[in-house]
Structure 1
Amino acid sequence: MDAPLDPLLVDVLQVLRLERLEPDLFRGESRDPGHHRVFGGQVLGQALVAAYATLEGRPVHSLHAYFLRAGDPDHPIIYQVDRSRDGGSFSSRRVVALQHGKQIFHMSASFQLKEQGTDSHAPMPLVAAPEALGDTNEAIEQFERRNPSRTIPWSRLRRAFEFRPTIPLDSLAGNEEPCLMIWFRAVDRLPPDPVLQHCLLAYVSDYYLLSVATLRLPPGTNRDHLQIASVDHAMWFHRPAALDDWLLYVLHSPNASGSRGLSQGGIYSRDGHLVASTAQEGLMRHRPEGAG
């Protein structure tokens, strides 16, 4: 008899099971990740679940989303799907997420029948294997022992995915081109369902994207007076992925301007294939001391 799944992963799978209210209307549960705002990856994953529920046989190849308002973790989210187009090989869907009568998020996603064509991608960087690395909690503890006066933007909360950075966190800040490479995988086994894998990949893709953009902030920036929030999120799905095996997230931030930071990422399978690409712009606004 199989052992029960890790409860944190069970909870994420539950969050991705939407209640169908009408053919194109869905309701999803919310969770509080620790700062009383819904995690952006949760909304991305749920919106993709809703879009997938309105078509068959066409895997997602891209999505483009905007975060409009902070989500309330104490209330469910309603997802309304617009079946924009079903063509000969492509389908387009637009999903709007609503809470308290207002839009908090909208996403456009495109789906395509599987086709054969050129198969080429940028190579995966050479990094240490995940088995040789410690997880983020260990890396944070080591960083803070060496740098007692400095803080970093990553949480110690245990999650449904484990993360293992490839270099010490001390090495991240101050680089000419801020970057982060981190292995990740689900904490337990997953069903071999390609739709679920895509929705989980959208969910986990929101981790660390905005964090790498904050590395462009000047050293010594007081984060107590910094407003940080995701503005948009784009994702392209290139190849199948198994999220209960190790994947490498290669992240860099090419720009910060106008109180916004831009992050880009590539997700590689353990055997070196590019699974997905991501991009996100986030708000990084300095607030006057004493501002709410």
Structure 2
Amino acid sequence: MAEVSWRRHVISLADFTIADYELVLQTALSFREVLSRRNKKVPTLQGKVVANLFFESSTRTRNSFELAAKRLSADTLNFSPGTSSLSKGETILDTARTFLAMGTDIMVIRHQAAGVPTAIARDMDLLGGKVAVLNAGDGKHEHPSQALLDLLTLCTYLNPSNPTAKEMKGKKVAIVGDILHSRVARSNLWSLVTTGADVHLVAPPTLLPVEFAEYGVKIHHTLGNALEDADFVMTLRLQTERMGQFLIPSLREYHAQFGITRDRLAKCAPNVQVLHPGPVNRGVEISSDLMDDPRLSLIEKQVTNGVAIRMSLLYLLGSSGSDKV
């Protein structure tokens, strides 16, 4: 397997450059071609061990990473907190060290608290190993692979034959929903701003603090101007499990004011497309008929692109000889 010079870990997109985005996208495109073949498996990471340490429940992300690792011929280890030694008092770092001792090369970490992947990456580095850590979502911090698959989906829509990160320059993207609790939004902000998109955030004031303007984006508390001439509308799930009381009056009222419907897209650019990272609360963040309309929705393509992007990240981390973190 050819060695590439890249970073050791992917914890955040905050320090990603245009060159980083292009490398991930172009690598993902090559794997997307592999996934279209009859034999969808390549020996790229044969002999490597990928451990999926999901301390927080997940369906799409976990299965996508597991499938990506298997498509690359890696051996996979899966961790479930309910049946682990955590229930006996073992610490998270001790759990990670156990997987290190079993020969793990890449750890894919998901945790409900921000900072856990960073702590594990730091511990692995102190132990002197060459374990790569990939953040699969931590608290209200980031979810890098979701933002990268979103970027691939957007760029492929804009230029199906040769998508690059440069396609996003000047494109208006409206992100609507529970931005306060969204790690997806935070990672997308880094990727979209870096690639030159015109980003507009819209949500009730309780779900969109003005501090988000520090990302270099525009803040709205009504849909009106946010949707006007938008090329893409990205809706986010209301994370009611993370909310305190009184952040929104009711789900019905939220949909009445901020739900994305076919009628509301009339304000957008003529070929507007809608995205959602899932899982979707149908009839709350987005109407069911809109979500299922292939002429307007890129949601299914997001799921498909997720496997290619995660293959790309696993390959780049698994074959990197760089000490850059």
**Could you say whether these structures have the same fold, taking a TM-score greater than 0.5 normalized by the shorter chain as the test?**
no
Ranked by relative contact order (alpha carbons within 8 Å, sequence separation 6 or more), the top structure is: 2
TM-score by length of 1: 0.26
TM-score by length of 2: 0.24
Give the structure with the higher percent helix.
2
